[in-house]
Chains A and B, each alone.
Chain A
């Protein structure tokens, strides 16, 4: 019941949150003293051509009229057209969202799959050499700039060792697009070569994205385990003679994960933001690369489309995290 109320509450706040996001993004993008129309029209355009194009794009209207029209069209599912290409933003986003989501999902899985066990190990070996080594590892993960790590990984694994591809999402042009998640589409096609190619291309960007996320997960899991391990129920279970590994990995971890799962939700949003850098370095055709190009071109509609979609993804992921809380901690759903 409590969980249902929480979900309904989140749905209630969903639309005001997205509207607020649109207002902020719209204001920021229109305050910048850039003239996308002059840019789109090109060096050789006459002033008459520029003004004609401005009118055609509706950018000659007062800002509040532009905002009203934009919100109205977004409500109807229309993000408008790119000022630069005049193609529907929704088409551009639809072709790029899966690439970013696929990369982000793999990065989250990787960071959780490695980060949670390392957090537990760090906690149960508190203040040992291993704990200190893991601390160095996690602090490095939080401190190292993503673009620098990306280049290092490229130089080592792609250039020096030749183990992984340098950039891109797949060799050639990829599988027939069904879900646009290449790992899934290649399996649907039954083409193992494309699957392996997609997986190999995924490794370096996923590791780059996952490393700082993993560091956060290690720290939060460690703190959660330390807190739980000193609880009375752990003392009781030890007194009952449960093996140490069962106590730690089954009972302690479940209680310790509540904070970690919340962090994973937040990390998902951070990863989408970090994808802007990682996608640019690895030439990953996702939302991040699209955002970079849109910002460089002052493409208002594309920038807002990216922001709204990223915001919605973030809200949905956090909703899923709230629901997951209910399963991990039954008290949440009562």
Chain B
């Protein structure tokens, strides 16, 4: 299994688009789609081949051995994340083929899209702290540019805000990595964990915890760090909003937090408690702020803050059931939130506005958009048999069985709030009285197809809950997170502990 192809295929595609697609714009979509399809297929192959490799594939780069080189590590958690990211990326790219006709500079869009994908795949696969930082910056910088893609003043402001906050917290992360490096003299994650385990817990580690929680917390948009998200996500073009809300905050945020705090630091209780608090705050504040929004996409942005809180408390519980809930909600939220953002993009494409006060009665004219939006609404509010029900149920049960009854009740109540604000969308956009906005354009084929596939996935992905599938495919992922520093033990045989070559 060549793991580097997850990185070089989109990277190559990005620069091929710049080279060839500037004059012939249709090439851009073709190259981007081909690259997305390739890595989507490869990520499925990797997921199903992984058990035969003993649950971990490690690729050293440049012919040296870790810790003297960068390694790419595929384990159960990262192969699962790859599928989530590349699935949403493929469907967003497919949707963008026709959506992006409203903008100029198609090739720019797809080149940046591919760079963002490169960064995310890199963050998921890397086993090296500094490499994690570099890939994170690659995807963030493309994200800043993509948020500003419309170049209206509002979009530029959102991008500037995002870039400033992102840069400050990235510096915090770099600072944390620097402290770890000065203490352990290594950047390989597993080796850092190994050194910390043998050297006891130094005091400086708490500073690193703080820096990482603030740094990755902003990327996750947990509540005190969430201010950029409701500006940045609505400003981006719809397929990018879907990518940002669907997978970027989970890859750079939740995945990085879980990988570092569970697998390297062994899930210290103090961090789990802080994450629990931040997660609960996110659920409540994100949920209530959504209700008062009138901008369709801004409402979805606040809803992302609320939903990411569920994912984080799932992981922060630290129990197998909680982690299962976190992983499931991460996957399901990627599907239904991308669907909802793509729907909002379709509404904006057709009516040229996303102000809910001007919309209304669209269900007759935009049938596919309205139907898929209904599926998304039911999923995100947790109505059975749609997927959101199962993940939320598991998280709430896990809260109660872990003794966090108050948080369980809050999670259940905010779920009703979620239903409330999505019913508001339904009433003001798709049903109810006809608004002042008229349908100017039909929603094209590629956009409809992407939305229908995602809506179908909202139902189909519930099938993961069938016990035999869950046992075979989800339990190994939960074990990877639950095993905490067993990640280090798995990487240890690959470490070269002799003298430098």
A binds B: no
The chain A residues found within 8 Å of chain B, CB to CB, are none
The chain B residues found within 8 Å of chain A, CB to CB, are none
